[in-house]
Amino acid sequence: MPGMYSARAPSGRTAYAVRMIRSAVPADVPVIHTMIRELAEYERAPEEARATEEQLHEALFGDRPAAYAHLAEDADGNPVGFALWFLNFSTWRGVHGIYLEDLYVRPAARGGGHGKALLTELARLCVERGYERLEWSVLNWNTPSIAFYEALGARPQDEWTVYRLTDDALKALGA
């Protein structure tokens, strides 16, 4: 179910337009793909964003979806951000959680509450479905995002180091 969110100024007045957070539909794939490319530019790694629209469509809407997406829209219905996520599982807690792969808000819409609204919707899904974790990674240099996440109550899991196998190393190990 889509969520309606509005931000409040300290006085209680609406500070900016109401936003709609909704689940993505197949027609959203091109705009999600575009925003993924924009995110890759922001994260200083445009050459690493190699996914095609076809791959994205299959991952989100194929016979066996591997991921899910939500869009943030401004008051005019224009997509201004997205969250792409998938289920993970905690062997220690014995339940699913959500792993947020990407959270992105277009630069012109930043500071308008769209990112918080997307995270609020994912947290709502966790609570509704009995999931006990909402997790994601953030680049160490991305101090604006880190400050935003910490203001929401998120805490870094700095005792863990992420490892990744890709490309030739992955092929060598898998051969």
Q: Helix, strand or coil for residue 44?
A: coil
Q: Does residue 7 surpass a pLDDT of 80? A: no
Look up 104 and say whether it is catalytic: no
Are 144 and 97 spatial neighbours (Cβ–Cβ below 8 Å)?
A: no
**What percent of the chain is modeled with pLDDT above 70?**
89
**pLDDT reported for residue 133:** 96
pLDDT digits (tens, 9 = 90+) for 81-126: 999 999 999 999 999 999 999 999 999 999 999 999 999 999 999 9
- b/e map 2-34, b = 16+ CB within 10 Å: ebebebeeeeeeeebeebbbbebeeebbeebbe
**pLDDT reported for residue 17:** 52
| Count of the separate structural domains present in the chain | 1
**What percent of the chain is modeled with pLDDT above 90?**
84
Q: Rounded to two decimals, what is the model's pTM? A: 0.87
Res. 15 pLDDT band, cuts 50 70 90 = very low
The parent domain of residue 143 ranges over: 3-174
Please identify which of the residues 68, 104, 131, 149 carries the catalytic annotation: 149
